[in-house]
Amino acid sequence: MTSRATPAAKAANAPVLLIEDTASLAMVYRSVLTSAGHRVLVAGTAAEGLTLFRDRSPSVVLLDLLLPDRNGLELMQDFLALRPSAAIIVITANGSIAKAVEAMRAGAHEFLVKPFDEQRLLAAVENAARPRPVVVPPPAVPRPVSRASSEAFIGSSPVMDRIHATIRSVASSMATVFITGESGTGKELCALAVHDNSARASGPFIALNCGAIPQDLLESEVFGHMKGSFTGAVSDKPGAATAADGGTLFLDEVCEMAPALQTKLLRFLQTSTVQPVGATRPRKVNVRIICATNRDPADAVRRGQFREDLYYRLYVVPIHMPPLRERGNDVIEIAEAALSRFGAEEGRAFDGLAPQVANLFRRLPWPGNVRQVLNVIRNVVVLNEGGLVTPDMLPAHLADQDDAPEPLAAEAPAPQIDSLIGLTLAEIERQVIEATIARHGGSVPKAARVLDIAPSTLYRKREGWAQD
């Protein structure tokens, strides 16, 4: 089996996007591609796939035509409208050959009919990743020169200067780096920066999202398995730790790892050996570990959800990626860089942000951080012809997140401690949540930021209360 990605794919350093709603198949396809040296992004729905396509600019898209939330052909048209040069490989069942032919006519690069073997999958992906003739845009339109989503590391704020200095200092060592920060702040890009500035830059960078893989498959995904070691293990499979030999293993959302696997990870860190499921002998590997989480790892230790000895083993050089709202004028630099890059990709020339837009961007809390800024700018570029970006060109929902003056606290008094005595915890929680939402003018997203929980959790709780 191929052990490394093609030179063209490595040069582009762009990931492969896999959109497959059957979790078991997604894990198999991802394992095959990762073992061959590809960086893989996985989405289970059309909505997730579209977001990753916009944010991460994958070199190749593997698209299952049967998705739970949308027709795959319609999604492919959106991809090609956003980036006509995208290489899309459609995946279809044996009874849907007509759909595959339709997809080819609509612009797909190739199609795969289930079931297909590893070599067929790898050949299709590597063929799609080969450089194709590029249509040179008119001279007046600049060509994109930055790596996808590199805007996350643009910024001259003091906090980003300190992060860059830390990366430069730690990159040359073997010390484990532990990256924390909210979703969308660029934790994986930070890990890539450490890898790219190290002596391991020519080696593989293997990223594994511990929160996106079922716990019963995670051990096999990290350490691999031997043929016949469990039902469905039809061949030997190297895990991510083996695939990262000579390079870097990035464990994202590491606090979501099951306790039993935490023990094995600790042993791996202590011995630098991996033992695949079903193997009788361990194998020595040379891997640098970088991990990340959007949770507070110390709190996970206190709650008994994360081993304390593993925490201290991993938490050697901490790097905290700050939320965008704490990075001052960086948001303007990020937005303008994205505007230039996306405009070049779409063949449209923009003249920057109007003062009103720049002021709004500085005020906004950006709960989705850099990822949200990129989505907003992509929306502006796709839906407008060019020129100066004015407020009327922004997505309509953006103004709802404006941290303009809030209603006075007196208009929504918080519950007093004495009034809570005698209530159940559930009743207290409801009063506090409703009072927080009221204090923030009825805005659930703003209340969620104050309460440090997801807006979806608040919506779900309120729906449940309405049914009581």
pLDDT at 142: 27
CA distance 249 to 252: 10
Of 68-72, 295-299, 428-432, 461-465, which one has max mean pLDDT?
295-299
Fold entry, domain 328-401: Helicase, Ruva Protein; domain 3 (1.10.8)
Residues 206 and 348: beta-carbon distance below 8 Å: no
230, pLDDT greater than 70: no
- Start and end residues for every CATH 3.40.50.300 domain found in the chain: 158-320
pLDDT mean over 423-449: 79
pLDDT at 233: 64
Q: Provide the whole-model pTM.
A: 0.54
CA distance 464 to 468: 7
Fold entry, domain 409-467: Arc Repressor Mutant, subunit A (1.10.10)
462, pLDDT greater than 70: yes
466, pLDDT greater than 80: no
Q: Could you read off the pLDDT of 21-45 as tens digits, one per residue?
A: 888 888 889 988 988 888 999 999 9
Better pLDDT: 213 or 243:
243
CA distance 129 to 106: 19
423-453 burial: b if 16+ Cβ within 10 Å, else e:
eeeeeeebeebbbbbbbbeebbbbbbbebee
459, pLDDT greater than 50: yes
7, pLDDT greater than 50: no
407, pLDDT greater than 80: no
To the nearest whole percent, how much of the chain has pLDDT over 70? 82
Band (231; pLDDT cuts 50, 70, 90): low
140, pLDDT greater than 70: no
Q: Of the candidates 210, 142, 188, which has an alpha carbon nearest to the alpha carbon of residue 369?
A: 188
- Start and end residues for every CATH 1.10.8.60 domain found in the chain: 328-401
- Start and end residues for every CATH 1.10.10 domain found in the chain: 409-467
Least confident of 223-232, 320-329, 370-379: 223-232
63 C-beta neighbours (distance < 10 Å), count: 26
Superfamily the domain 158-320 falls into: P-loop containing nucleotide triphosphate hydrolases (3.40.50.300)
Span 7-129 CATH architecture:
3-Layer(aba) Sandwich (3.40)
pLDDT mean over 277-283: 79
136, pLDDT greater than 60: no
- Start and end residues for every CATH 3.40.50.2300 domain found in the chain: 7-129
Helix (H) or strand (E) holding 317: strand 317-320
- Three-class SS of residue 177? strand
